[in-house]
């Protein structure tokens, strides 16, 4: 075997400053890394997601990108899309406002306005109206803590169950009971083995009471992976789904929505996500999610051929 190196980049996404937001590792490759090795490298970084840019397509209008969690390849995820677009713009060295990423779910365009990168997600799908009692039980809260809106699954590429609660104290005290959560997922076709998406749904608990007055919503996102519960510091895919939920259920009232979402404050990895969108006729939606990206590090990674 011979050893070689490839370049990688670490960025913080949905971060107002370095060392906040959600961490992402972005690797450059030239078709010389197998899927199996990509998965091992993603597990080694130990970040929520890791991406791989196919540098053979770097000069194309649409650049090929793959996204991996520590457990599996996924068709789409929010902070990896924005973080990879940020790195891609730097690598291309162009003063461009738009870049297009070819992901498993299809082509996603990322648009830059000032310091904020924006992506438009695909039309959301909605499913279910789940029991407050069952959901409260696995979240470690009371059914009476849940607001008078539906508990609903939304998917724009990755699925999440949304739980609106009455105040920030409920969000802060939530603690997942893994066994109860897994039983709930399996019983409601939300588990990877029986979900129509082939993926386990995360759960996003949120409220309109915030830590900072300039923000509109405060939330936490938990996901199920490798037989354990993890909390994400900033979840672009979930926040796109949250925007769909807000528009469909008129959580913030009628009409177009602009909202700033706090996430990750409890970890603590404070993150700010911006949402902008509206509901159109015939159950169509415009779903945009934005945030800032901070460069943290670059380096070389040794691989064997």
267: how many CB neighbours lie within 10 A of its CB?
13
pLDDT digits (tens, 9 = 90+) for 53-82: 999 999 999 999 999 999 999 999 999 999
- Ordered by start, the domain boundaries in the chain are 3-121+292-304, 125-288
pLDDT digits (tens, 9 = 90+) for 220-236: 999 998 889 999 999 99
Q: In the predicted model, is pLDDT for residue 2 greater than 90?
A: no
Q: Quick check: do 3-121+292-304 and 125-288 share a fold? A: yes
Q: In the predicted model, is pLDDT for residue 4 greater than 60?
A: yes
Question: How long a stretch of residues is the chain?
Answer: 305
| Distance from C-alpha of 173 to C-alpha of 132, rounded to nearest angstrom | 17
Q: How confident is the model at residue 3 (pLDDT cuts 50, 70, 90)?
A: confident
- Match 């076709």 to its residue by tokens: 189
Contacts of 177 (CB under 8 A, 6+ apart): 137, 138, 139, 140
| Distance from C-alpha of 144 to C-alpha of 141, rounded to nearest angstrom | 8
Assigned CATH topology for domain 125-288? Diaminopimelate Epimerase; Chain A, domain 1 (3.10.310)
pTM for this entry: 0.94
* Cα 155 to the center of its chain, rounded Å: 11
Q: How confident is the model at residue 305 (pLDDT cuts 50, 70, 90)?
A: low
* 141 close to 151: Cβ distance less than 8 angstroms: no
CA atoms 248, 292, 301, 95: torsion sign: positive
Percent residues over pLDDT 70 in the chain:
99
* 269 close to 20: Cβ distance less than 8 angstroms: yes
Instruction: Please give the full DSSP string across 181-233, using - where no structure is assigned.
Output: HHHHHHHTT-STTT-TTSS--EEEEEES--SSTT--EEEEEEEEETTEEEEES
- Report pLDDT for 1: 36
Which H or E element spans position 53? strand 49-54
* 63 close to 57: Cβ distance less than 8 angstroms: yes
Mean of per-residue pLDDT scores for the chain: 96
Whole-Å CA distances, 174 to 85, 204, 282: 33, 11, 36
Find out if CATH 3.10.310.10 is the number for domain 3-121+292-304.
yes
pLDDT digits (tens, 9 = 90+) for 250-279: 999 999 999 999 999 999 999 999 999 999
């Amino acid at each position: 075997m011979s050893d070689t190196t490839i370049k990688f980049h670490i960025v913080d996404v949905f971060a107002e400053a370095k060392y906040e937001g959600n961490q992402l590792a972005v690797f450059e490759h030239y078709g010389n890394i197998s899927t199996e090795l990509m998965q091992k490298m993603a597990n080694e970084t130990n970040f929520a997601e890791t991406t791989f840019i196919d540098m053979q397509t770097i000069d194309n209008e649409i650049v090929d990108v793959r996204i991996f969690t520590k457990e599996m390849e996924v068709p789409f995820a929010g902070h990896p899309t924005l973080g990879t677009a940020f790195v891609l713009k730097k690598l291309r060295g162009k003063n461009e406002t738009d870049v297009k990423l070819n992901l498993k779910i299809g082509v996603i365009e990322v648009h830059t306005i000032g310091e904020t990168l924006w992506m438009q997600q695909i039309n959301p799908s909605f499913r279910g109206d789940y029991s407050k009692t069952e959901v409260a039980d696995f979240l470690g809260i009371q059914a009476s803590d849940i607001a008078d809106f539906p508990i609903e699954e939304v998917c724009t590429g990755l699925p999440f169950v949304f739980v609106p609660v009455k105040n920030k104290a409920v969000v802060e005290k939530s603690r997942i009971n893994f066994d109860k959560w897994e039983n709930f997922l399996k019983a409601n076709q939300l588990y990877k083995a029986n979900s129509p998406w082939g993926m386990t749904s995360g759960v996003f608990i949120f409220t309109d009471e915030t830590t900072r007055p300039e923000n509109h919503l405060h939330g936490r996102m938990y996901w199920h992976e490798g037989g354990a519960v993890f909390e994400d510091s900033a979840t672009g895919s979930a926040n796109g789904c949250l925007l769909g939920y807000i528009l469909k259920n008129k959580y913030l009232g009628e009409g177009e929505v602009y909202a700033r979402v706090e996430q990750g404050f409890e970890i603590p990895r404070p993150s700010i996500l911006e949402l902008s969108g509206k509901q159109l006729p015939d159950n169509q939606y415009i779903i945009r999610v934005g945030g800032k990206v901070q460069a943290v590090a670059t380096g070389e990674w040794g691989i064997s051929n």
